[in-house]
Homo-oligomer: A and B are copies of this chain.
Amino acid sequence: MPTRQERADAVRNRAAILAAAADLFDRADATTVSVQEIARSAGVSKAAVFRHFGDRSGLIQHILEPRAAALRDAVTDGPPPLGPGAPPAAALTAYLDALLDFVYRNRVLIRAFEYLGPDAYYTNAASRFWIAELGRRLAAVDPHRDADYLAHAVFTALRADVLDYLHTVPGMTRPRIRTGLHTLATGAPPPDDRTPRRRARRTSAD
C-alpha cells in the first residue's frame, strides 16, 4: 500500500513554520521566542506547529540539524586537517576552530536548545558525537591526560551561552576566546596565534 502523497498545504505550512522559526530564533533572544509567536509569524495556528514537529524541542532540532550535518560531514569525510588523515595536533586545532565557529554562528539557536532542559545540551545525539570526536582527538594528542573528562570540559567551554556571555559581558574578542580554548585543550596556544603575549594581565579597571 503506497503512502498517499503529502498534502500541498501541509508541505507549504511546514516550510513556512521552519522559515519563520529560523528567522525569529536567529534574530531574538532564543529563550523569549514562544511557539505562539512562531505560528503567528508563519501565518499558521499554534496547533499546526505542534502537529508538524511534536513539541518545541523537535522544532528547534529540525532547524539545527541541516546546519550541523554540513560540519559533521566535513569532520567524518572531508579533507584534512578537519577530515580524517591529518597529524593529531593539526586535527585537534582544526576541529576546535570548526566547533567554535559553528557554535558562534548558531549561538542563539543553540541557546534555545540548551534551555530546553537540564541535560538536553549534553545528552542529545549530536552533542554526544561532537564530544566523542573531541575525546578521540584529544587522546591522540596526549594520551596521558583524562581525555574523556577534558572533552566534556572543553565542550562545556564551547556552550553557546558561555560564548555569548564571554563576548558580551567581559567583552572578550573571538580570537582571544579561540586562544584560550586551544590553551585549555592542549596547554599551548594554537600555532598560528596572533594575540599578543602578556604577562600578569590585569583585569581592566571597570
Contacts and interface: CB of A to CB of B under 8 A. Distances in A.
Interface of A: 29, 31, 111, 115, 117-119, 122-123, 132, 135, 139, 143-150, 152-153, 156-157, 159, 161-162, 164-166, 169-170, 172, 176-177, 179-181, 183-184, 187, 197-201, 203
Nearest to A168: B119
A148 to B, nearest CB: 6
Contact of A180 (B122, B146, B166, B183): B146
A150 B199 contact: no
- Label chain A's interface by main secondary structure: helix
Given A143-B199, A200-B139, A184 B153 contact: yes
Given A198-B146, A201-B146, A203-B132, A159 B161 contact: no
B153 A157 contact: yes
B199 A144 contact: yes
A76 to B, nearest CB: 18
B150 A119 contact: no
Given A139-B200, A153-B153, 20 more contacts: A31-B117, A31-B118, A118-B164, A119-B165, A122-B165, A122-B169, A123-B165, A135-B203, A143-B199, A143-B201, A146-B198, A146-B201, A148-B201, A149-B177, A150-B184, A152-B166, A153-B157, A153-B180, A156-B159, A184-B184
